[in-house]
């Protein structure tokens, strides 16, 4: 079953989450955390988006 279309409008807020397959860990060490934060920064710069908050958990973001 497909999901309903996202409501989009200027200035909208979105909750975005990623989780490892079968809820397995995706961050195994400090280097994984650092790499992800760097990638997050590159992505926000490239797409001109603002991230108000994020939380890195062992098996999801």
pLDDT reading at 34 higher than 90: yes
| Domain assignment present for 59 | yes
Q: What is the pLDDT of residues 47-61, one digit of tens each?
A: 988 899 999 999 988
Q: How many domains are there within the chain? A: 1
Taking the C-alpha atoms of residue 43 and residue 28, their distance in angstroms, rounded to an integer, is 22
| Domain assignment present for 1 | no
Q: How high is the mean pLDDT of the chain?
A: 90
pLDDT at res. 55: 93
pLDDT at res. 4: 83
Q: Please, are residues 58 and 25 in contact by the beta-carbon 8 Å criterion?
A: yes
| Domain assignment present for 7 | no
Structural domain containing residue 50: 16-61
| Domain assignment present for 9 | no
Q: Please, are residues 4 and 24 in contact by the beta-carbon 8 Å criterion?
A: no
pLDDT at res. 44: 94
Q: What is the pLDDT of residues 1-23, one digit of tens each?
A: 688 888 888 888 888 888 889 98
């Amino acid at each position: 079953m497909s999901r309903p279309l996202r409501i989009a409008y200027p200035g909208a807020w979105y909750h975005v989450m990623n989780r490892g397959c079968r809820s397995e860990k995706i961050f195994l060490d400090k280097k994984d955390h650092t790499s992800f934060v760097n990638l997050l920064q590159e992505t926000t710069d490239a797409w001109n988006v603002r991230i108000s908050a994020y939380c890195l958990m062992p098996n999801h973001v």
